[in-house]
């Protein structure tokens, strides 16, 4: 584990922070400067004024994402404010660049007002090819994303909602294959009904889990039909009749536990009460609702995933957002829709099944571990270079098939281009 001082030194030493801006065109001569700025820059300005879509030809827009937050729900730190959340947003930018060669400007908004946030993002949107909302508290995050998707013609994606949902969805697909269970038959209990919890429930519903087979719990207990305390319209989507009132009551005979709440909320007795071959996604960070070691003490038939890198099956959002935006940007998608999200999840699940041929660079990074689909390997590792060439084309194809792509590409040639990019990124 890293120490506090290591983390502070990493961010402080040398040039403070984790990002810098680098020119992509020569700036060595008088002519270079005349082309980069005045008078030469007037020519692309005129072209874009006549046809706004030409911005994708003459500017960074087509490879630029805005990572934007107001700092109201930063990691496990809570509402620490816009400025204090900036290191996280810079970190997100680093991941975009390292894994998918997507450029990022991080924007921290000093506002807790939904209308002000929405209007501000709308005003700066022409700069970007996509918007990644990050670390904005629930329930405001739902309204902000919904309104921006409606008003903008570029992808808007709240990663706290959809990232965990997509990655855990991929893990769920493979866990069900291993256990021989079916999406339409399983019972799922969620601990946590914020952005990630509701995002996962919505995504699993889209994959095929009946809504009546899902029970959501928050800090007040089960979200049941008729409950009035601490209910909003997003939680209300998952209200239905049940006699369960506590997490312990809800989890009895459940096939799947999906935790997006707090450390230690799940006990050994709760795990004992679950159905045969339980699937336990304890994804609270930094510490899970129950650890894999604690599960193993009471069940030898369980499959466990967490959000931590020091346990098998880390549900890590970096498996999703860089590749989703890469595919969306390259076909100039107007939005990131459900078919694109599902395509990402299914591609991740399929890639994990090809574990036997995982590149040696990945084996070296994980102690020459054996990568074969099973209880300890449900989803690919973040440093697997095949993610770019396997997941991104699936997302781009889904965008074209579903009608949100404004640019059509040859998916085979696209795959060849991504292979070259992957080789470059692997050497970064």
Q: Where are the domains of the chain?
A: 37-154, 162-306, 317-426
Residue 32 tokens, joined: 């270079």
What is the CATH T-level fold of the domain 162-306, as seen in this structure? Rossmann fold (3.40.50)
pLDDT of residue 362: 86
Would you list the DSSP string of 272-283? HTSPSS-EEEE-
Instruction: Tell me the catalytic residues.
Output: 37, 92
What span, in angstroms and rounded, lies between the C-alpha atoms of 37 and 284?
49
Is residue 1's pLDDT more than 80?
A: no
Lowest mean pLDDT among 113-117, 235-239, 302-306, 355-359: 355-359
Helix (H), strand (E) at residue 123: helix 114-124
Place of tokens 């994990």: 352
Task: Please report which confidence band the pLDDT of residue 357 belongs to, taking 50, 70 and 90 as the band edges.
Answer: confident
For residue 210, the tally of other CB atoms under 10 A from its CB is 14
CB 132 within 8 A of CB 66: yes
Rounded to 5 degrees, φ, ψ at 15 are: -80, 120
- Which one-letter DSSP state was computed for residue 208? T
Residue 232 tokens, joined: 């909003």
User: Do the domains spanning 37-154 and 317-426 agree at the CATH topology level?
Assistant: yes
Q: Look at residue 124 and give its three-state secondary structure.
A: helix
Residue 150 tokens, joined: 């409606």
> What are 92-139's pLDDT values in tens digits?
999 999 999 999 999 999 999 999 999 999 999 999 999 999 999 999
Across 307-313, average pLDDT: 92
CB 302 within 8 A of CB 295: yes
As assigned by CATH, the class of the 317-426 domain is: alpha beta
> What are 175-206's pLDDT values in tens digits?
999 999 999 999 999 999 999 999 999 999 99
Of the candidate CATH numbers 3.40.50.1820, 3.40.50.10380, 3.30.230.70, 3.30.1330.10, the domain formed by 37-154 belongs to 3.40.50.10380
| Between residues 357 and 211, the one the model is more confident about | 211
Is residue 356's pLDDT more than 80?
A: no
CB 352 within 8 A of CB 399: no
Residue 217 tokens, joined: 């719990």
Task: Please report which confidence band the pLDDT of residue 370 belongs to, taking 50, 70 and 90 as the band edges.
Answer: confident
Rounded to 5 degrees, φ, ψ at 70 are: -110, 5
Is residue 80's pLDDT more than 80?
A: yes
For 358-386, the three-class secondary structure string (H helix, E strand, C coil) is: CCHHHHHHCCCCCCCCECCECCCCCCCCH
Buried/exposed code over 99-133 (b: 16+ C-beta within 10 A; e: otherwise):
bbbbbbbbbbbeebebeebbebbeeebeebbbbbb
pTM above 0.85, yes or no: yes
pLDDT of residue 392: 98
Residue 333 tokens, joined: 């998608």
Q: What is the mean pLDDT of the chain?
A: 96
Helix (H), strand (E) at residue 259: strand 256-259
What span, in angstroms and rounded, lies between the C-alpha atoms of 328 and 26?
29
Residue 81 falls in which region: left (phi positive, over 0), alpha (psi -120 to 50) or beta = left
Task: Please report which confidence band the pLDDT of residue 286 belongs to, taking 50, 70 and 90 as the band edges.
Answer: confident
pLDDT of residue 374: 95
Which residues are CB-neighbours of 10 under 8 A, at least 6 positions away?
none
pLDDT of residue 358: 84
Lowest mean pLDDT among 65-74, 280-289, 368-377: 368-377
pLDDT of residue 330: 98
Is residue 242's pLDDT more than 80?
A: yes
Cα 139 to chain centroid, rounded = 18
pLDDT of residue 364: 83
> What are 19-65's pLDDT values in tens digits?
999 999 999 999 999 999 999 999 999 999 999 999 999 999 999 99
Place of tokens 């997941």: 391
pLDDT of residue 365: 82
Would you list the DSSP string of 267-331? -HHHHHTSPSS-EEEE--SSS-SS-HHHHHTT-SS-EEEES-TTSSSB--GGGTHHHHHHHHHHT
Helix (H), strand (E) at residue 91: helix 86-100
What span, in angstroms and rounded, lies between the C-alpha atoms of 251 and 247?
6
Q: Look at residue 157 and give its three-state secondary structure.
A: strand
pLDDT of residue 426: 82
What span, in angstroms and rounded, lies between the C-alpha atoms of 304 and 311?
9
């Amino acid at each position: 584990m890293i120490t506090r001082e290591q983390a502070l030194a990493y961010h402080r030493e040398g040039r403070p922070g984790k990002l810098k801006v680098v020119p992509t065109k020569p700036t060595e001569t008088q002519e270079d400067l005349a082309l980069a700025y005045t008078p030469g820059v007037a020519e692309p300005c005129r072209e874009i004024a006549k046809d706004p879509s030409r911005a994708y030809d003459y500017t960074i827009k087509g490879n630029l994402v805005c990572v934007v937050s107001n700092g109201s729900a930063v990691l496990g730190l809570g509402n620490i404010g816009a400025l204090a959340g900036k290191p996280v947003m810079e970190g997100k930018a680093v991941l975009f660049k390292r894994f998918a060669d997507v450029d990022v400007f991080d924007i921290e908004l000093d506002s807790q007002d939904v209308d002000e946030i929405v209007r501000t993002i709308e005003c700066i949107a022409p700069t970007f090819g996509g918007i990644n909302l990050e670390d904005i508290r629930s329930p405001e995050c739902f309204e902000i994303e919904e309104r921006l998707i409606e008003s903008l013609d570029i992808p808007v994606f709240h990663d706290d909602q959809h990232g965990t949902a997509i990655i855990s969805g991929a893990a769920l697909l493979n866990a069900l294959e291993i256990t021989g269970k079916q999406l339409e038959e399983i019972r799922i209990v969620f601990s946590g009904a914020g952005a990630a919890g509701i995002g996962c429930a919505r995504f699993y519903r889209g994959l095929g889990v009946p809504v009546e087979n899902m029970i959501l719990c928050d800090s007040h207990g089960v979200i049941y039909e008729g409950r009035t305390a601490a209910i909003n319209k997003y939680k209300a989507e998952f209200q239905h009749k049940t006699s369960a009132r506590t997490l312990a009551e809800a989890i009895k005979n459940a096939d799947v536990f999906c935790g997006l709440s707090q450390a230690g909320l799940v006990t050994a007795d709760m795990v004992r009460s679950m159905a045969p071959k339980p699937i336990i996604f304890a994804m609270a960070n930094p510490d899970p609702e129950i650890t894999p070691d604690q599960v193993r003490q009471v069940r030898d038939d369980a499959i466990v995933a967490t959000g931590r890198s020091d346990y098998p099956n880390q549900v890590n959002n970096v498996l999703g957002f860089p590749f989703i935006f890469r595919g969306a940007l390259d076909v100039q998608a107007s939005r990131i829709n459900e078919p694109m999200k599902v395509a990402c999840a299914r591609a991740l699940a399929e890639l994990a099944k090809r574990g036997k041929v995982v590149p040696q660079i990945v084996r070296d990074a994980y102690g020459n571990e054996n990568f074969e689909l099973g209880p300890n390997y449900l989803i690919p590792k973040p440093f697997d270079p095949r993610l770019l060439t396997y997941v991104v084309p699936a997302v781009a194809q889904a965008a074209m098939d579903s009608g949100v792509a404004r640019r059509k590409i040859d998916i085979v040639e696209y795959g060849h281009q991504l292979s070259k990019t992957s080789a470059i990124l692997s050497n970064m």
